[in-house]
């Protein structure tokens, strides 16, 4: 059986920087090729093959796939929601043309599998605010969401017309201690920890009661790997799967942080990102993922908060030390 040779495009991004080491542990460092438009300036990226790549250049992409005999691609390069609203045309070009380049190459080279991330940004004002289902209406309010909606249709089209095995997750807001905020509407839930651990007050760009779906990065990485390992016959969503873990508001996250850092201060100054958040569901129904490939999250808000603070300030003695049995679910 041919061994996997995997390409991770956008390896320096929020997802890629944590997915890459996971895949290298699983498949071997030299069977997982990292690619990004920026050079490798970090030792962790140089632990295996690293290539500078502009995914908008199909010839360079094709040459890289040929050189390493790639048969599986994780295409993660994208412009996120808030950043995309500042330059919609540029966001569309990267998000859409990059995906089409990857899908077309997968068709031509008969690649075994392609992963591409979608987002809760595909949903808009017509979607239910609570328990948003897998098949809820898509009426995105941002160019990011528009590109993700179109991308889901392209993934389904390439699968149904040419048998390209594309797999996708609609990620909620992702929380990570490994990378700084990347220009998303949910990024307050990352930046707030950096400010709290530094002993600084935080000004949140969303209202205190804005509820959004969130996920801690270890869960997101595990979900991605598990979906890619799932038998093809078990998968019913050929566009993208809803994925859920926890939902909270900035006020609720502040309460969780104050269990460890009781002097933390926050105020609120909503900006243009508030209207984006208002268009998204407050929580997601991911029953299809749980049925089709046995998805089950580990981290809720308390465990996420504790782990974020531990990683961002490893010498900090936590004021609250819950039992893992009460703080994590499986």
Angle at 96 between CA 95 and CA 100, to 5 degrees: 125
Q: Rounded to whole angstroms, what are the CA distances from 35 to 38, 103, 192, 205?
A: 8, 17, 30, 32
Each residue of 46-91: pLDDT tens digit?
A: 789 999 999 999 999 999 999 999 999 999 998 877 788 888 899 8
**Nearby residues of 266 by Cβ (< 8 Å), 6 or more positions away:** 192, 201, 202, 203, 204, 250, 254
Q: Rounded to whole angstroms, what are the CA distances from 319 to 189, 199, 260, 261, 324?
A: 20, 15, 5, 7, 15
Catalytic residue chosen out of the listed positions 50, 144, 159, 202: 144
The model carries a pTM of: 0.91
Query: 116 — alpha (psi -120 to 50), left (phi > 0) or beta?
Result: beta
Please name which of 161, 294, 293, 288 lies closest in space to residue 237, comparing C-alpha atoms.
Answer: 288
pLDDT of 81 reads 75
Where are the domains positioned within the chain? 6-172+216-242, 175-213+246-327
188 in active site: no
Each residue of 200-245: pLDDT tens digit?
A: 999 999 999 999 999 999 999 999 999 999 999 999 999 999 999 9
Fold of 6-172+216-242: Rossmann fold (3.40.50)
CA dist 218 and 176 (Å) reads: 8
The least confident of 46-50, 123-127, 146-150, 237-241 is 46-50
The two domains 6-172+216-242 and 175-213+246-327 share their CATH topology (first three levels equal): yes
pLDDT above 70 coverage of the chain, percent: 93
Q: Is the pLDDT score of 28 beyond 90?
A: yes
Dihedrals phi, psi of 74, to nearest 5 degrees = -105, 105
The CATH architecture to which 175-213+246-327 belongs is 3-Layer(aba) Sandwich (3.40)
Helix axes 301-312, 188-197, angle to 10 degrees: 50
pLDDT of 317 reads 57
């Amino acid at each position: 059986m041919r061994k996997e040779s995997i390409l991770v495009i956008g390896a320096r991004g929020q997802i890629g920087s944590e997915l890459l080491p996971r895949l290298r542990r699983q498949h071997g460092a030299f069977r997982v090729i990292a690619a990004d438009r920026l050079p490798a300036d970090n030792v962790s990226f140089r632990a295996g093959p690293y290539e500078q790549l502009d995914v908008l250049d199909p010839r360079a992409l094709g040459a890289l796939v040929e050189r390493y005999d790639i048969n599986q691609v994780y295409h993660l390069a994208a412009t996120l929601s808030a950043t995309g609203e500042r330059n919609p045309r540029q966001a569309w070009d990267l998000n859409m043309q990059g995906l089409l380049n990857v899908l077309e190459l997968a068709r031509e080279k008969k690649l075994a599998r392609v992963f591409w991330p979608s987002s809760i940004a595909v949903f808009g004002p017509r979607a239910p605010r609570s328990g948003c289902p897998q098949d809820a209406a898509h009426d995105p309010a941002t160019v990011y969401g528009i590109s993700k909606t179109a991308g889901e249709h392209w993934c389904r089209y390439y699968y149904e017309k040419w048998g390209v095995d594309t797999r996708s997750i609609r990620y909620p807001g992702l929380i990570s201690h490994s990378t700084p905020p990347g220009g998303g509407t949910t990024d307050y839930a990352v930046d707030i920890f950096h400010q709290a651990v530094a002993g600084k007050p935080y000004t949140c760009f969303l209202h205190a009661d804005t509820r959004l779906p969130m996920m801690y990065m270890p869960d997101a990485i595990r979900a991605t790997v598990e979906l890619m390992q799932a038998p093809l016959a078990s998968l019913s969503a050929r566009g993208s799967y809803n994925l859920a873990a926890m939902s909270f508001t900035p006020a609720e996250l502040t309460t969780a942080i104050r269990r460890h850092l009781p002097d933390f201060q926050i105020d609120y100054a909503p900006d243009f990102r508030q209207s984006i958040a208002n268009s998204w569901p407050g929580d997601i129904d991911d029953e299809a993922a749980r049925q089709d490939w046995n998805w089950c999250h580990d981290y809720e808000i308390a465990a996420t908060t504790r782990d974020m603070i531990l990683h961002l300030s490893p010498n900090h003695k936590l004021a609250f030390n819950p039992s893992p049995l009460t703080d994590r679910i499986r």
